[in-house]
């Protein structure tokens, strides 16, 4: 069966420090991968999505970047965190056949 893992689950970082959130999918190949930020009252904001290795679509110009070095690995990064980067980040995947998204457990980032 397919599974999706995100880590770390919780992260507290100082302003100006780098960030790396990792997402890995198991049990499927060539998934479409997504990064969202979830905030109360603002829903799920699509940040990046990827349909293949090295293919990244950016939806919101900001302080973050994404990479897909392997078929089932999706990484969210920042070189220098801002206070406004604090939030709950969700990774998700879909096969492209049914359209259903499967979500990870999420990573809560607090920037101080």
Partner 1 sequence: AQRVTQPEKLLSVFKGAPVELKCNYSYSGSPELFWYVQYSRQRLQLLLRHISRESIKGFTADLNKGETSFHLKKPFAQEEDSAMYYCALSGRNSGTYKYIFGTGTRLKVLA
- Residues contributing to the site for partner 1 (CB under 8 A): 32, 34, 36, 41-44, 46, 49, 51, 57, 59, 90, 94, 96, 98-101, 103-106
In the bound state with partner 1, the residue whose beta carbon lies nearer, of 68 and 81, is 68
Residues contacting 75, CB < 8 A, separation 6+: 20, 21, 22, 23, 66, 67, 68, 69
Nearest approach, Cβ of 49 to partner 1 (angstroms)? 6
For the CB of residue 57, give the shortest distance to partner 1 in the complex, in Å.
7
Q: Which CA distances in Å does 99 have to 34, 45, 61, 66?
A: 13, 18, 26, 22
Shortest spacing between CB 86 and partner 1, in angstroms: 19
């Amino acid at each position: 069966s397919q599974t999706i893992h995100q880590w770390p689950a919780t992260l507290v970082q100082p302003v100006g420090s780098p960030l790396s959130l990792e997402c890995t999918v198991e049990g499927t190949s060539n998934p479409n991968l997504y990064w969202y930020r979830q905030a109360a009252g603002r829903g799920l904001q699509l940040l990046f999505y990827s349909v293949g290795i090295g293919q990244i679509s950016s939806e919101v110009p900001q302080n973050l970047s994404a990479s897909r070095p392997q078929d089932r690995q999706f990484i969210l990064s920042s070189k220098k965190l801002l206070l406004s980067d604090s939030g709950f980040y969700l990774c998700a995947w879909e096969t492209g056949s049914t359209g259903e998204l499967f979500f990870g457990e999420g990573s809560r980032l607090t920037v101080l």
